[in-house]
Amino acid sequence: MKLSNLLSAMVAAAATASALSIDFPDKQSLLSGPNPLGKHVPGDSPIFFCSPTTPNDDFVTIETIDISPNPPAPGKTLTITATGIIKKRIEEGAYIDVEVKLGYIRLVKKTFDFCEKIEEADVGVACPVEPGPLKITKDADIPNEIPPGKFVVTASLFTKDDELITCLHAEVQFKRS
Protein backbone atom coordinates (compact mmCIF):
# COMPACT_ATOMS: atom_id res chain seq x y z
CA MET A 1 0.00 0.00 0.00
CA LYS A 2 2.20 2.84 -1.19
CA LEU A 3 0.66 6.04 -2.52
CA SER A 4 3.03 8.81 -3.47
CA ASN A 5 0.19 11.20 -3.22
CA LEU A 6 -1.73 12.61 -0.31
CA LEU A 7 -5.02 11.24 -1.51
CA SER A 8 -3.45 8.03 -2.69
CA ALA A 9 -1.86 7.39 0.66
CA MET A 10 -4.93 8.31 2.65
CA VAL A 11 -7.22 6.21 0.49
CA ALA A 12 -4.84 3.26 0.53
CA ALA A 13 -4.52 3.50 4.30
CA ALA A 14 -8.25 3.72 4.77
CA ALA A 15 -8.89 0.88 2.34
CA THR A 16 -6.26 -1.35 3.88
CA ALA A 17 -7.38 -0.52 7.39
CA SER A 18 -11.00 -1.24 6.57
CA ALA A 19 -10.22 -4.39 4.64
CA LEU A 20 -7.67 -5.80 7.06
CA SER A 21 -8.97 -4.29 10.29
CA ILE A 22 -5.68 -2.49 10.79
CA ASP A 23 -5.58 0.74 12.78
CA PHE A 24 -3.61 3.80 11.78
CA PRO A 25 -3.21 6.29 14.64
CA ASP A 26 -3.15 10.01 14.33
CA LYS A 27 -1.85 12.64 16.72
CA GLN A 28 -3.32 12.36 20.22
CA SER A 29 -4.96 15.78 19.88
CA LEU A 30 -6.99 14.52 16.94
CA LEU A 31 -8.32 11.56 18.90
CA SER A 32 -8.91 13.23 22.25
CA GLY A 33 -12.29 14.79 21.47
CA PRO A 34 -15.52 12.90 22.07
CA ASN A 35 -16.81 13.55 18.53
CA PRO A 36 -14.12 12.96 15.90
CA LEU A 37 -16.49 13.69 13.02
CA GLY A 38 -16.06 16.95 11.21
CA LYS A 39 -17.34 17.92 7.78
CA HIS A 40 -18.33 15.06 5.47
CA VAL A 41 -15.89 14.52 2.59
CA PRO A 42 -17.83 15.07 -0.67
CA GLY A 43 -18.77 11.85 -2.43
CA ASP A 44 -20.45 8.56 -1.62
CA SER A 45 -18.61 7.30 1.45
CA PRO A 46 -18.72 7.28 5.27
CA ILE A 47 -15.55 9.41 5.34
CA PHE A 48 -15.30 12.69 7.25
CA PHE A 49 -12.58 15.22 7.86
CA CYS A 50 -11.40 14.91 11.46
CA SER A 51 -12.79 17.45 13.87
CA PRO A 52 -11.75 19.93 15.09
CA THR A 53 -9.09 19.88 12.39
CA THR A 54 -9.75 20.70 8.76
CA PRO A 55 -7.65 19.81 5.75
CA ASN A 56 -4.64 22.03 5.24
CA ASP A 57 -5.73 23.93 2.14
CA ASP A 58 -2.11 24.91 1.55
CA PHE A 59 -1.36 21.27 0.66
CA VAL A 60 -4.45 19.60 -0.76
CA THR A 61 -8.06 19.98 -1.77
CA ILE A 62 -9.94 16.69 -1.55
CA GLU A 63 -12.75 16.99 -4.08
CA THR A 64 -14.45 13.59 -3.69
CA ILE A 65 -14.01 10.15 -2.17
CA ASP A 66 -16.39 7.44 -3.36
CA ILE A 67 -16.51 3.83 -2.18
CA SER A 68 -18.34 0.87 -3.64
CA PRO A 69 -20.08 -0.94 -2.16
CA ASN A 70 -21.24 1.64 0.37
CA PRO A 71 -21.39 0.45 3.05
CA PRO A 72 -18.50 -2.02 2.71
CA ALA A 73 -19.45 -5.69 3.08
CA PRO A 74 -17.51 -8.79 4.20
CA GLY A 75 -16.32 -10.95 1.31
CA LYS A 76 -16.66 -8.12 -1.20
CA THR A 77 -14.08 -6.05 -3.04
CA LEU A 78 -14.09 -2.46 -1.85
CA THR A 79 -13.32 0.08 -4.59
CA ILE A 80 -12.23 3.52 -3.47
CA THR A 81 -11.96 6.41 -5.93
CA ALA A 82 -10.59 9.78 -4.82
CA THR A 83 -10.09 13.02 -6.67
CA GLY A 84 -8.38 16.17 -5.58
CA ILE A 85 -5.73 18.77 -6.19
CA ILE A 86 -2.26 18.69 -4.72
CA LYS A 87 -1.22 22.30 -4.13
CA LYS A 88 2.16 21.89 -2.48
CA ARG A 89 4.83 19.25 -3.09
CA ILE A 90 4.68 16.29 -0.68
CA GLU A 91 8.20 15.05 -0.09
CA GLU A 92 10.01 12.00 1.24
CA GLY A 93 9.64 11.82 5.01
CA ALA A 94 5.88 12.42 5.00
CA TYR A 95 4.10 9.94 7.23
CA ILE A 96 0.66 8.60 8.10
CA ASP A 97 -0.58 7.96 11.62
CA VAL A 98 -3.39 5.38 11.58
CA GLU A 99 -5.66 4.06 14.27
CA VAL A 100 -8.28 1.33 13.87
CA LYS A 101 -10.75 0.47 16.59
CA LEU A 102 -13.45 -2.15 16.92
CA GLY A 103 -15.93 -0.38 19.16
CA TYR A 104 -13.79 1.01 21.98
CA ILE A 105 -11.04 -1.58 21.52
CA ARG A 106 -7.94 -0.35 19.70
CA LEU A 107 -6.80 -2.98 17.22
CA VAL A 108 -3.90 -1.07 15.69
CA LYS A 109 -2.13 2.21 16.22
CA LYS A 110 0.83 2.70 13.94
CA THR A 111 2.86 5.21 11.96
CA PHE A 112 3.69 4.45 8.33
CA ASP A 113 6.07 6.05 5.86
CA PHE A 114 3.74 7.69 3.34
CA CYS A 115 6.03 7.24 0.35
CA GLU A 116 6.60 3.53 1.06
CA LYS A 117 2.87 2.91 1.47
CA ILE A 118 1.85 4.67 -1.70
CA GLU A 119 4.44 2.71 -3.67
CA GLU A 120 3.10 -0.55 -2.20
CA ALA A 121 -0.46 0.52 -3.08
CA ASP A 122 0.50 0.60 -6.75
CA VAL A 123 -1.77 3.48 -7.74
CA GLY A 124 0.60 5.18 -10.16
CA VAL A 125 1.87 7.87 -7.79
CA ALA A 126 5.36 8.23 -6.33
CA CYS A 127 7.22 10.61 -4.04
CA PRO A 128 7.80 13.40 -4.29
CA VAL A 129 4.15 14.12 -5.14
CA GLU A 130 4.09 17.17 -7.33
CA PRO A 131 1.33 19.80 -7.39
CA GLY A 132 -1.58 19.21 -9.77
CA PRO A 133 -4.84 17.32 -10.13
CA LEU A 134 -4.98 13.74 -8.97
CA LYS A 135 -7.38 10.84 -9.36
CA ILE A 136 -6.70 7.44 -7.86
CA THR A 137 -8.64 4.20 -7.68
CA LYS A 138 -7.79 1.37 -5.30
CA ASP A 139 -9.43 -2.05 -4.77
CA ALA A 140 -9.19 -3.90 -1.47
CA ASP A 141 -10.73 -7.27 -0.63
CA ILE A 142 -12.66 -7.32 2.63
CA PRO A 143 -12.28 -10.73 4.32
CA ASN A 144 -15.36 -12.88 4.95
CA GLU A 145 -14.06 -13.45 8.48
CA ILE A 146 -14.34 -9.81 9.55
CA PRO A 147 -16.14 -9.78 12.90
CA PRO A 148 -19.39 -7.91 13.38
CA GLY A 149 -19.14 -4.52 15.04
CA LYS A 150 -18.40 -0.87 14.48
CA PHE A 151 -14.94 -0.25 13.00
CA VAL A 152 -13.51 3.24 13.39
CA VAL A 153 -10.52 4.25 11.25
CA THR A 154 -8.63 7.52 11.59
CA ALA A 155 -5.73 8.37 9.28
CA SER A 156 -3.67 11.56 9.51
CA LEU A 157 -1.08 12.61 6.95
CA PHE A 158 1.85 14.81 8.03
CA THR A 159 4.85 16.38 6.36
CA LYS A 160 8.33 15.35 7.44
CA ASP A 161 8.25 18.51 9.62
CA ASP A 162 5.10 17.33 11.45
CA GLU A 163 2.76 19.74 9.66
CA LEU A 164 -0.73 18.26 9.26
CA ILE A 165 -1.71 17.82 5.62
CA THR A 166 -5.09 16.20 6.25
CA CYS A 167 -6.92 13.88 8.62
CA LEU A 168 -9.72 11.52 7.59
CA HIS A 169 -12.09 9.53 9.79
CA ALA A 170 -14.48 6.70 8.85
CA GLU A 171 -16.91 4.54 10.79
CA VAL A 172 -18.28 1.32 9.29
CA GLN A 173 -20.74 -1.08 10.94
CA PHE A 174 -20.41 -4.76 9.98
CA LYS A 175 -23.38 -6.94 10.91
CA ARG A 176 -23.78 -10.67 11.36
CA SER A 177 -25.03 -12.46 8.25
Q: What is the mean pLDDT of the chain?
A: 80
Task: Enter the CATH code of domain 6-174.
Answer: 2.60.40.770
Note the pTM of the prediction, 2 decimals: 0.77
**pLDDT for residue 77:** 96
Q: Give how far Cα 2 sits from Cα of 37, 68, 96, 135, Å.
A: 26, 21, 11, 15
**pLDDT for residue 74:** 92
Contact criterion met (CB below 8 Å) for 119 and 126: yes
Rounded CA-CA distance 81/68 in Å is 9
pLDDT in tens, 116-141: 999 999 999 999 999 999 999 999 99
For residue 52, whether the previous peptide bond is cis, meaning omega lies within 30 degrees of 0, is yes
